[in-house]
Amino acid sequence: MTETVDREAIRARARASRLATCKYWRGALAQPPCGAGVDLVARVGPRRMAGWALRIPCCDAAAPVFACERKCVPTPEEDEARQRAIGEMLALLPAVMTAIPSDKSITHGEVPCPKCGGPVRWERSPVNGHLRGGCAAGCVSFIQ
């Protein structure tokens, strides 16, 4: 059976969600307060509460518990600029990942940034081999 994926509809939903999400939202796992100084746990309750994400005003919940006076959503132009910047950063990753030695016994190092030529410092977890790192100038960062 062939499954049809409407990529445009998925993109439109994701864009609508981004445009409804506060610039100060730092994610559900971030410690309060948010970037605007609002303590969501104090105002909404513990995050382990069922449906917590539907109760906060930060994203696109239909009926949040309170209307945040500090909510500030991106303009369509800001969203487009951010998406473009993310795309540019993602385009750098294959070159960075290829430059990092595949030898798992090497646990850290530096490779040149494909954008600015500066150092991309990286480290490999001795536990699971995952990589993380970033360019000192901020061109690219990753957690794998």
Q: How far is the CB of 114 from Zn ion (least distance, A)?
A: 8
Q: What is the end-to-end Cα distance of the chain in Å, rounded?
A: 33
Q: How far is the CB of 77 from Zn ion (least distance, A)?
A: 25
Residues lying near Zn ion in the complex (CB under 5 A): 113, 115-116, 118, 135, 137, 139
Q: Which is nearer to Zn ion, 14 or 137 (CB)?
A: 137
Q: Which is nearer to Zn ion, 71 or 115 (CB)?
A: 115
Question: From the centroid of its chain, how far is CA 54?
Answer: 20
Q: How far is the CB of 1 from Zn ion (least distance, A)?
A: 46
Q: Which is nearer to Zn ion, 57 or 134 (CB)?
A: 134
* Sheet strands (E) in 4-143: 108-112, 119-124, 131-135, 141-143
How far apart CA 126 and CA 113 sit, in angstroms, is: 24
Q: How far is the CB of 94 from Zn ion (least distance, A)?
A: 15
Q: Which is nearer to Zn ion, 94 or 129 (CB)?
A: 94
Contact 44, 25 (CB under 8 A): no
Q: What are 49's two structure tokens? A: 């509460």
